[in-house]
Structure 1
Amino acid sequence: MKMIADATEWYDASAGSLTHRVIKFLDTSLRMHIVHRLADGVITTSKFLTAFYGRRGKTTVELPTLFDGEKFQSPPSREDNLRKDFIYVGSPFDVGRVNKARSNLKERLDVCIEVFYQLYLAGGNFSFEIYGIGVDDYLRVFPEHAAMLQEMAQCTTFKGRQPNQLVLKRVAECDFSIFFRDETRVTLAGFPSKLAESISCGTPVISNKMVSLERHAQNEGLFLAARGEEFALVKRVMTFSSAEINAIKQRAYHSRAFDYRNYVDEVSAFMAELEV
């Protein structure tokens, strides 16, 4: 019998109570350094983990978050209007466990808010919907953004946690989904499932250039900016016409970039190498 480990994340242990941090550190260290290394093979989700276990002589196969592409419906055509609709979906941080330096944020929703505030001041015609966190929880971590959000109340809305089907419907209806991340061990080790889900819905994604996304940098509908250049990228996509956005959405949807069928050969080779 062969044992195969599935390494999808490297959890952070820098915040919370001392007891929580110690238990989380021991649990993560045991799993990442010992349990996975005892496995015959490791399924990874990122270049970072592939290299990490490859250096330790493990047989690996790198798989992003995958879906059955045939279960997603073709995205609706956007109407010919000037407003661009953006959507963020996720949990950018654990409200009760953000450290004082705010260095353990999973995602930089604050950068999104600041980018859209710049766009708002420049007179941009947009809407930005945020799913997965409420405004009160967000302001507990970023109280300095209260005035910005109040000023942008007509175009930036927090929807909180909502049923998955409703969120997927809104993703498909929007022009772009957006999220930004810093390069940390936590973010490099995982793969953003929201990226794969959005592309599968036919909605292009705006994010940062990261090692974990290099393999997918040429995918249809993936727009990547270097850190510090996020506003310039958002300004650029704001110039796209309705016809251009509809074409991008259709290409992203039909690319089936994250359909599990596209990875059958890689998994077959991995299993053959393990002689399963």
Structure 2
Amino acid sequence: MRTIIYVGGFELPDRNAAAQRVANNAKILQSLGYRVVLIGVSRQRPYDRRLYPAHCTVAGVDAWEIGYPLAQREWFDAISAVWPLTRAVEQGVAAPDNVAAVICYNHPAVAQARIARLARGWGAAALADCTEWYARRPWTSPANAVKNIDVGLRMHAVNRRMDGLITTAPFISRHYAGAGQPIIEIPTLIEPPPDGSPAPLPPGGPLPLAAIASGFGAAKRPSDIHDRIDWIIDLLDAVAARGVDFRLRIIGVDRDAYLLLFPHHVAVLDRLGPRVEMMGRLPRSDVLELLAASAFSFVLRHESRVTLAGFPTKYSESITYGTPCIINALPSVRAYHVEGQTGFSIDPRNGAEAVEALRRVLTMDRVAIDAMKQYCRTSAVFQASTFEPAMQTFLQSIGVAPRT
């Protein structure tokens, strides 16, 4: 059984969305007959150039982690590091002559180029899983300058020299379409819940809704927030004025942090009162439980290079857990969205038209909503098994041996 090594800044077992993506991609590779080794990072480990055992949610995957770099000298080492792979060999985790491919997940450019050279020296393919295109930072500090140079080098040069690319959205796939490499597009996949059917909605009372906020901790201005919770609140304020009763639970930000960026919403939130609850950060298990119990979730994003390059994990989580999603025009989800089944599309820029569309959705018969929830839960659109044939074709196209 040949080995595929996946290396990058994912925090196992599921501490960030990257880890969830990598675990599900590992499940695909494992199902195709490969032994999978994951090498992630941990903020609980020292950055001491050692590999530590880690835990993966997928049984049979060999998981390891290195310390997360904190000091400046550690960062400079990390952005050019090839030692995680050489340590894997030294510790008997992988044998070079048995490695079929190395996959770099959103990796620093210099480190990725060096890892690619090492992998090819072993006779393995060098691949990149490219799910982000980070925004340019102000050139106001050495750290920002290094980050800007790194992102530009990786996106415009290093990725184009890899043997194949795994992307998550059409935006990045089109960017590399002329490079001549095999490309496979895989959205963020989600492990399905153990039970097969979502619980039916209560027959009466406020309609339960959910939205997941991210980025508020690091944001300096409203434009830094990609998931537009403010749009959701404005729309629901207008819908509430038309007599619709609902309870929106917003996960990931509390009221104080939200109002630091959107202070003009004080009056709106006061007016909505208990209809909107900001719950702050919650364990992922609680998030998924709350999501599964909701009639609809929201994913409204403005378009930027960052949002176009990525795939909203919030969308795939929602559908997998049986909750249809109210979205705006997101190119990355277009191939997976079934209007009236996996949710509804609205355009927040259309004012009164968007409000009326949302009013119609939130006043649907609850039996019809339950039918949508069942459709989402059983669709399997974001499950690993759905992408096995495409992954096998991709690996064969770059000369990586299939199941042996």
TM-score range, shorter chain: over 0.9
Normalising to structure 2: TM-score of the pair?
A: 0.64
Larger relative contact order (C-alpha < 8 A, sep ≥ 6)?
Answer: 1
Aligned mates of 1:158, 1:85 — CA distance in 2: 14
Q: CA deviation at 1:23?
A: 3.2
Q: Any stretches of 5+ residues in structure 2 without a counterpart?
A: 1-123
Q: 1:267 aligns to what? A: 391
Shift in CA distance, 12/127, structure 1 to aligned 2, threshold 3 Å: same
Could you tell which deviates more after superposition, 53-62 or 30-39?
30-39
Q: 1:244 aligns to what? A: 368
Match runs of 1:160-175 below 5 Å = 160-175=280-295
Aligned mates of 1:234, 1:17 — CA distance in 2: 43
User: Any conservation in 2 of the 1:9–1:189 contact (CA below 8 Å)?
Assistant: yes
* Bigger-Rg structure (1/2): 2
Identity %: 31
Q: CA deviation at 1:180?
A: 0.6
Q: CA deviation at 1:120?
A: 1.8
Normalising to structure 1: TM-score of the pair?
A: 0.92
Q: 1:61 aligns to what? A: 184
Q: CA deviation at 1:18?
A: 4.0
Q: Does 1:257 align with 2:381?
A: yes
Aligned mates of 2:348, 2:169 — CA distance in 1: 20
Q: 1:11 aligns with which of 125, 134, 138?
A: 134
Match runs of 1:78-97 below 5 Å = 78-91=201-214, 93-97=215-219
Q: Does 1:224 align with 2:342?
A: no
Q: CA deviation at 1:15?
A: 6.0
After superposition, the C-alpha distances for 1:74-127 in whole angstroms (9 at most, x for unaligned) are 211112115211101130x3444334xx43321111101111111122221111
Q: 2:101 aligns to what? A: none
Q: Give SS of 2:244's match.
A: coil
Q: Does 1:98 align with 2:224?
A: no
Could you tell which deviates more after superposition, 23-32 or 13-22?
13-22
Q: 1:29 aligns with which of 146, 152, 156?
A: 152
Q: 1:132 aligns to what? A: 252
Match runs of 1:61-210 below 5 Å = 61-69=184-192, 71=194, 73-91=196-214, 93-99=215-221, 102-210=222-330
User: Any conservation in 1 of the 2:346–2:358 contact (CA below 8 Å)?
Assistant: no
Could you tell which deviates more after superposition, 182-191 or 212-221?
212-221
Q: CA deviation at 1:27?
A: 2.6
Amino acid at match of 2:382: F
Amino acid at match of 2:388: V
Shift in CA distance, 17/155, structure 1 to aligned 2, threshold 3 Å: farther
Aligned mates of 1:132, 1:73 — CA distance in 2: 27
Aligned mates of 1:208, 1:110 — CA distance in 2: 14
Shift in CA distance, 18/257, structure 1 to aligned 2, threshold 3 Å: same
After superposition, the C-alpha distances for 1:114-144 in whole angstroms (9 at most, x for unaligned) are 1111112222111110001111111111000
How many matched pairs?
A: 273
Q: CA deviation at 1:21?
A: 3.4
Q: Give SS of 2:190's match.
A: coil
Q: Any stretches of 5+ residues in structure 1 without a counterpart?
A: none
Shift in CA distance, 16/155, structure 1 to aligned 2, threshold 3 Å: farther
Q: Give SS of 1:81's match.
A: coil
After superposition, the C-alpha distances for 1:168-191 in whole angstroms (9 at most, x for unaligned) are 001000100112111111100000
Could you tell which deviates more after superposition, 33-42 or 20-29?
20-29
Q: 2:48 aligns to what? A: none
Q: Give SS of 1:253's match.
A: helix
Q: 1:43 aligns to what? A: 166
User: Any conservation in 2 of the 1:179–1:206 contact (CA below 8 Å)?
Assistant: yes
Could you tell which deviates more after superposition, 152-161 or 81-90?
81-90
Shift in CA distance, 247/117, structure 1 to aligned 2, threshold 3 Å: same
Amino acid at match of 1:127: R
Amino acid at match of 1:172: A
User: Any conservation in 2 of the 1:115–1:231 contact (CA below 8 Å)?
Assistant: yes
Q: 1:2 aligns to what? A: 125
Shift in CA distance, 231/71, structure 1 to aligned 2, threshold 3 Å: same
